Chain A
């Protein structure tokens, strides 16, 4: 479903700020895979996600999404294949527009926009139903400006928007990192629910080792622009934080010195 082949990405080449973010990264995801992507700051996981989404172009290598060579496709053209949720809960929605307008924008993801009315009354009923499943009391707030809702509510809405039109690949970029622990947990369980209901292929970036172990069927760890661990199947199910730390040490030749991942 996603084939990342030998992707190389460098920022600010030829300057003192040169930073090699991805060193020939390859990842091959099967249909229905739910991959958690973990690593410390600067490991390259967000860069990889942004390269897949088309925010950055790659310097070398290819990216293939659901059989389409997306390497050179601009961001807005890849969007028909992708559902995306960002780290910042404010980023996924248009704050000055009302809830139903946001949902209507997402329902038409990847389709040409014409002069038809922006929302049909038939859609409205669907939205109401879907929102009631979120259990956040949003089903009666279709006409509320999204900017007035809380971060957790907005992230839940973004998640719903990303899956409203079923994506070939769902990209989650540390989408619970900016939420308080309780809300983060709710959003994560909603994530699990939406993924299993729609049988979505998912790539989830996270800082949190526990979350990375608990969710998904496959765990990929990055370090210094490289994939250093790829754990799947039974092995993934049995994984513990201690075992993961140990394997990180062996693979990278370093100790995992990232407090946030341990403490959270």
Chain B
């Protein structure tokens, strides 16, 4: 039992970085960005290939981050300069990345068994393997949250937040909204690829298919985080995303334990997200607003 929760927490922490990436596009920029499905696998592929070639795992993970940022940049250009709708821009980059990822990997999947990863470096300090993942996950998530909290409080960060909120007003304040959208996509996909690199090293392989459905997992985590842990101030919002990602993993671990076939997981996740997104509307259907005006005597 404890082992299950520990596994869920470690996986949740790694996925929390991805969740934060999804949050930046979905909530801050107000764009549903499907690039993430490709960039998470891109991050995994780059890290796996680099590590296989003997590059230091931390540097490899850093290269993954840059790769993801490049993917976000491409989507940003498609959407802003070339005026392709955001959803379609993301799909185009995602599909293109499938081929790119196959090129990077050289085959459909690449094993990292018995190779040095970011986790084994910590294990060598005498930490048990499962704890090394939690420790590294915790450090990365804390770092990412602190950095982003700072960044979104700066002039530039404020400008990005305002762009997702009211682009017309932002342009009237002399800010190039196209640049802000591109920058947001770059940061988001960089984080997603970073998460992908950490996932690949956790599961000791990178697979070209591993991005499929990741956007839905990201959204599920965002929504769980917001519903369960509130969204009071900006710092708490980021922290709640990490809790959301962990909670999602715990829920999944439990339904698997209760006997759900792992093939049905994506169906389960998709239905959960659909219900969560539609909840306010469903409530309205079930419970139409009552007329509250009372006649005067």
- Which A residues contact B (CB, under 8 angstroms)? 53, 74-77, 79-80, 82, 84, 86, 91-97, 101-102, 104-106, 108-111, 113-118, 161
**A104→B175 CA distance, assembly (Å):** 13
Given A75-B171, A92-B169, A94-B169, decide whether A118 and B157 contact each other with a Cβ distance below 8 A.
Answer: yes
Chain A residues whose CB sits within 8 angstroms of the CB of B146 once the complex forms: none
Determine if A95 and B166 form an interchain contact, defined as CB atoms under 8 angstroms apart: yes
A115-B154, A116-B155 as given contacts; A97 in contact with B161, CB under 8 Å: yes
Q: Is the CB of B155 within 8 A of A115?
A: yes
Closest residue of B by beta carbon distance from A75: B171
Smallest distance from the beta carbon of A87 to chain B beta carbons, Å?
12
28 A–B contacts, CB within 8 A, in A order:
A79-B172, A80-B174, A84-B172, A93-B166, A93-B169, A94-B162, A94-B165, A96-B165, A97-B158, A97-B161, A101-B162, A104-B155, A104-B158, A105-B158, A106-B173, A108-B174, A109-B172, A109-B174, A110-B174, A111-B174, A113-B154, A113-B158, A113-B159, A114-B155, A115-B154, A116-B155, A117-B153, A118-B154
Would A86 and B168 count as touching, CB distance under 8 A?
A: yes
The reply to whether the CB of B74 lies closer than 8 angstroms to some CB of chain A is no
Q: Whole-angstrom distance from the CB of B158 to the nearest CB of chain A?
A: 4
- Sorted nearest first, the 9 A-B pairs with minimum C-beta distance are A79-B174, A110-B174, A113-B155, A94-B165, A118-B158, A94-B162, A113-B156, A94-B166, A84-B172
Docked-complex contact B154 and A76, CB < 8 angstroms: no
Set of chain B residues within 8 Å of A74, measured between Cβ atoms: 176
Say whether B154 contacts A105, CB under 8 Å: no
Q: How far is the CB of A264 from chain B (nearest CB, A)?
A: 26
User: What separation, in Å, do the CA atoms of A115 and B157 have in the docked complex?
Assistant: 8
Cα distance, A161 to B162, chains bound together (Å): 14
Shortest beta-carbon distance from B149 to chain A in Å: 12
- Rounded to whole angstroms, the CA-CA distance of A92 and B151 in the bound complex is 24
Q: Which residues of B contact A118 (CB under 8 A)?
A: 153-155, 157-158
Which chain B residues border A106 with CB–CB below 8 Å?
173
The winner among B151, B153, B159, B175 for most chain A CB atoms within 10 A is: B175
Q: Which residues of B, 152-205, contact A by the 8 Å Cβ criterion? A: 153-159, 161-162, 165-166, 168-177
B154 interface neighbour in A91, A95, A117, Cβ under 8 Å? A117
Chain A positions within 8 Å of B173 at CB level: 79, 105-106, 108-110, 161
Residues from chain A with Cβ under 8 Å of B151 in the complex: 115
Q: CB-CB < 8 A to B171: which residues of A?
A: 75-76, 79
Question: With a CB–CB cut-off of 8 A, which chain B residues contact A117?
Answer: 153-155
Q: How far is the CA of A240 from the CA of B215 in the complex (A)?
A: 63
With A94-B170, A115-B151 known, 12 other A-B pairs at CB within 8 A are: A76-B175, A76-B177, A79-B172, A79-B175, A82-B172, A97-B158, A108-B155, A109-B172, A113-B175, A118-B153, A118-B154, A118-B158
Closest beta carbon of chain B to A119's beta carbon, Å: 8
A105 and B156 in contact (CB under 8 A), knowing A94-B162, A97-B165?
no
Please give, as numbers and ranges, the residues of chain A lying within 8 Å of B153 by CB-CB distance.
117-118
A105-B159 contact, Cβ under 8 Å, with A76-B174, A118-B153: yes
Q: Which chain A residue shows the least CB distance to B160?
A: A113
Q: Which of B154, B156, B171 has the most CB of A within 10 A?
A: B171
Minimum distance in angstroms from A113 CB to a CB of chain B: 4
Closest to A104 in B: B158
Contacts of B154 in A (CB 8 A): 113-118
| Bound CA span A108–B170, Å | 11
For the complex, give the distance between the alpha carbons of A95 and B30 in Å.
13
Residues from chain B with Cβ under 8 Å of A113 in the complex = 154-156, 158-159, 175
Docked Cα-Cα span, A96 to B162, in Å, equals 8
A93–B158 Cα gap in the complex (Å)? Answer: 13
Most central of A93, A97, A113, A115 by chain B CB within 10 Å: A113
CB distance from B172 to the nearest CB of A (A): 5
Residues of B within 8 A of A114 (CB): 154-156
Residues of A within 8 A of B172 (CB): 53, 75, 79, 82, 84, 92, 109
Most chain A CB neighbours (cut-off 10 Å) among B154, B156, B161, B172: B172
Contact A91 B166 (CB under 8 A): yes
Could you say which residues of chain A place their CB within 8 Å of the CB of B166? 91, 93-95
B162 touches A105 (CB 8 A): yes
